[in-house]
Structure 1
Amino acid sequence: MKIVIPSSSFKKFLASLSFLFLLSFSLTAQESDPANGKKLFNANCAACHKMDKKLIGPPLGGINDRRENEWLQAWIKDNNALRASGDQDAIDIFEEYNGMPMTPYPQLSEQDINDILAYTDGEPKEAAADVAAAQEVDPKVAIGKKIFQTNCASCHKLDKKLIGPALGGIADKRSAEWLRAWIKDNNALRASGDQDAIDVFEEYNGMPMTSFPQLSDDDIDAIIAYTTVGDMKQVAATAGGEVVATAKTSTAWMSYIVVFVLLGIIIWIYVASNNGFLKIAATIFVMILTGYILFDSLMDIGVDQDYQPIQPIAFSHKIHAGDNKIDCQYCHSSAKHSKTSGIPSVNVCMNCHKSISEYTGPTTSDKDKAFYDEEIQKIYDAIGWDSENLQYIEGYEQKPIKWVQVHKLPDFAYFNHAQHVTAGGVACQKCHGPVEEMEEIYQFSPLTMGWCMDCHKSTDVNLKGNDYYAKIHEELASKYGVESVTIAQLGGKECGKCHY
């Protein structure tokens, strides 16, 4: 069939496209208003962003120097769509912030966004980090810190009393010879009649310090060096003392051009074309596309993958399960023998935090030592712990920590942790993802029925040390003609296993 395009209709179509391009250009060419941008920023952005430092999202001061205007327009209006289009920058930001999507703002016009961006340019930009003076630090300090943390940190801090006295600057109060004798065997030093040793013993209510005869004089000298210098702040190295920004380019504009052209063609077919076949084809295309979008949207209802609520305490799984290698089941002990994994009580936290009142690990620009110390204090405020006197406050009205549940299955779905953890030997990371790498926990897996079925179909039955399963496996392997039976073949696809 030959399609004839009337010349007058085609001219109207070109005129319409020209008008749209001119209108778009004229809107873009309007002068930005930083004052209006400030109002829009405070109304829409200030809850999650600051200009000079990271809040929930990244700092926005000077964002125009780091991103193209076209990309920022697309990101602010609908960052989810931009990410879904395959834009790598959008995907990188999503992953950097632990899968927490930004609220889209489709109601903001292009001019509104330009005003906001003009306001971010007008704010003072974040000052470059100070570079530490180029001086060599005694290697003894680093060695002493390790020895201190291994042997001394459970009873001593540098700047304040813990179980024992503060040790910062101890070399100014005691001689190195006395400190070596005291650390190696304080009981023998006290028995020799040393008055200082006796005074310290009596000051701390006759509680002797653990002796460390295994430490050499060099080890003790390294500890003394560390207590003298203290913790050195880590400064991020940058080229020439300036923050280096990596130039990034976006290809999202190609997707928008394709959509714009398709919409233009469909509008032309309905308005300017007299060809009935094209109109019918366009109608069918629009109906199929609408149905697909509707079905795809309905399939996402109740699927909360990447859900990450704000918790009352910024508990870091990376610090606890990752850096300190704490086993998941130390805190979630009921996962081995119960349907649920359980929320650890504050008493479980206090098993460690009676002695750990301050954070000594690595920090970032947005989460410094003061931030982590404040989060630890929230535990003490909940249970009523006096970190100065190392005792519970008598008569204190304890307050529950209102954790927000992250993983939640529908009520009609039955899941048993013990069946998977104990009987199945499934690792926590199989469902919850690499929790040892997560600063704050989020829902890693979709937790849909299809996702569960895929796991049951691909996971073999663990027969080790289980005669009951071994017998069933032998019968099922013969029935299905396979060497290894999956959970699905064992009954893991039966509806009644999870819905009853």
Structure 2
Amino acid sequence: MSIKRSFLGVPIYLGSLLLALFLFAGTYSHAAHPDVPDSEDAIKAGEAIFNANCKTCHKLDQRYTGPALRGVTERRTLDWAKNFIVNSQALIQSGDAQAVALFREYNNIVMPAHDFLSDMEVMNLLSYIEYGGKEDASAQAAAGADGAAGASGGIPSEYLSIIVGVLILVLVLILVVLALIVSVLTKYLNTSEKVSEEDKAFINQKGDIKKVLTSDGVIVIVTTIVMALVVKTAIDGLYGIGIQQGYAPTQPIAYSHELHAGKYEIPCQYCHTGVEIGKSANIPSANICMNCHMHIQNVDGKEGVSPEIAKLYDAYDNNRPIEWVRIHNLPDLAYFNHAQHVKVGGIECQTCHGPIEEMEVVYQHSALTMGWCIDCHRNTEVNAQGNQYYDKLVQLHADSKDALKVKDIGGLECAKCHY
């Protein structure tokens, strides 16, 4: 019997082959918390809650404005997930390490509180997050690059970390098992009379760690891991070009939307007068501010003129425009009309700008990418009730069983935004 190769190479080559297969398999399964209901009624009720409160910023299996949600009750405790949904800011301000890390990872974007949801509604929402929407996964994958661009990211970072960690653990276990097998075979061959002394000397040779580290198997493993990380980083970087989500510049006057639009409930259209009649929402002039601040000089009845209102008076008295810093910027090649969306479409300001009435400092809430807009056009139903603008379109769509959506009235045509 003649032995021509060392057993030492077996675990290395097999391990590298398995690692490569796992890296490109792309499958990941999870086990939801056992207390999360999986009934059809709970999933359906949770879907309605998700569409009404979460859909703008989240997807189940894809990184979006916020993280991918499916598997949250496996990655976190059930109580943590419920508390974060109900009031994420309270959890962050309590110093919870996981909540703080998540807040920082997503550019300090504030998620609105959902304290109006009952405990049962929160559980139904988690039911949909864990078990719902899976039938749409193949359709979303077929949607192509548009949907991927809207996600402003490739493979979710948390998924990549989990996959790499599991692969390393599996590889280590495989190496340990194969090392035990090699050890048992070595002992057996040493006691076998059919093995020549020359072969026994070959079997009992000591391993050379330098040769192991420079072997083809180790090189393949290290190269594969490095390439996967480099490709992931490059994809994330490419998708992030031109995206200013979370951008919150310092303004010349510390104007608080939380105070004006939130506490005092001043309508957005009072200041942004062009939003219903033109392409731009326009920045209000000092004259509009002075309609109120001619009489209001401070906040909460305090005496004297506050420093920020004094800046307004200075601009007004000197007939000098306030140099506000633009927050939401679209590329010149894209055409967007506020009147079409707000007046005709009946879209609320918060749909694109987020909970503006809760912002002390305004920031860009949505990604505002091409994919983000197209995804909205695919899923948004046309508000045609009592709107004569859509009468003929509704008649043409009458034979269809599906609801009339923006995509059905040309919302996916290139020339709508690029001409």
TM, length-normalised to structure 2: 0.51
Tell whether 2:393 aligns with 1:472.
yes
Tell whether 2:232 aligns with 1:311.
no
**Structure 2 alignment gaps of length 5 or more:** 11-96, 111-160, 173-208
**Structure 1 alignment gaps of length 5 or more:** 7-85, 100-253, 362-368, 385-396
> 5 Å matches for 1:288-307?
288-307=228-247
Tell whether 2:410 aligns with 1:487.
no
User: How far apart, CA to CA, are the structure 1 residues paired with 2:303 and 2:283?
Assistant: 26
Specify which of 69, 94, 100 is matched with residue 89 of structure 1: 100
- Note the aligned Cα RMSD (angstroms): 3.5
The alpha carbon displacement at 1:460 in A equals 1.0
User: How far apart, CA to CA, are the structure 1 residues paired with 2:379 and 2:210?
Assistant: 50
The alpha carbon displacement at 1:96 in A equals 11
Residue identity matched to 1:360 = D
Contact 1:477 1:484 in 2 (8 A): no
Specify which of 291, 298, 309 is matched with residue 351 of structure 1: 291
> 5 Å matches for 1:348-497?
348-360=288-300, 373-384=306-317, 397-478=318-399, 481-497=400-416
Give the SS at the match of 1:492.
Answer: coil
Contact 1:476 1:490 in 2 (8 A): no
Offset from partner CA, 1:271-304 (integer Å, 9 cap, x none): 8524312312321332232122111111100010
Partner residue, 1:179 = none
User: How far apart, CA to CA, are the structure 2 residues paired with 1:271 and 1:400?
Assistant: 73
Give the SS at the match of 1:87.
Answer: helix
> 5 Å matches for 1:250-265?
none
Provide closer, same or farther for how the CA distance between residues 313 and 429 of structure 1 changes in structure 2, counting only shifts above 3 A: same
Offset from partner CA, 1:17-73 (integer Å, 9 cap, x none): xxxxxxxxxxxxxxxxxxxxxxxxxxxxxxxxxxxxxxxxxxxxxxxxxxxxxxxxx
Structure label with greater radius of gyration: 1
Percentage identity across paired residues of the two chains: 45
Contact 2:377 2:412 in 1 (8 A): yes
Tell whether 2:290 aligns with 1:335.
no
Give the SS at the match of 2:397.
Answer: helix
Contact 1:315 1:440 in 2 (8 A): yes
Provide closer, same or farther for how the CA distance between residues 272 and 312 of structure 1 changes in structure 2, counting only shifts above 3 A: farther
Offset from partner CA, 1:93-139 (integer Å, 9 cap, x none): 6889656xxxxxxxxxxxxxxxxxxxxxxxxxxxxxxxxxxxxxxxx
Provide closer, same or farther for how the CA distance between residues 305 and 402 of structure 1 changes in structure 2, counting only shifts above 3 A: same
User: How far apart, CA to CA, are the structure 2 residues paired with 1:321 and 1:300?
Assistant: 31
Offset from partner CA, 1:348-381 (integer Å, 9 cap, x none): 00000011011117xxxxxxx7999111111011
Partner residue, 2:126 = none
Partner residue, 1:389 = none
Residue identity matched to 1:398 = N
Flag the structure with more relative contact order, 1 or 2, with Cα contacts below 8 A and sequence separation at least 6. 2
Specify which of 200, 219, 226 is matched with residue 286 of structure 1: 226
User: How far apart, CA to CA, are the structure 1 residues paired with 2:407 and 2:319?
Assistant: 47
Provide closer, same or farther for how the CA distance between residues 412 and 371 of structure 1 changes in structure 2, counting only shifts above 3 A: farther
User: How far apart, CA to CA, are the structure 2 residues paired with 1:3 and 1:89?
Assistant: 49
Offset from partner CA, 1:436-477 (integer Å, 9 cap, x none): 110011100000111111111111112222345232223234
Provide closer, same or farther for how the CA distance between residues 92 and 287 of structure 1 changes in structure 2, counting only shifts above 3 A: closer
User: How far apart, CA to CA, are the structure 2 residues paired with 1:372 and 1:310?
Assistant: 21
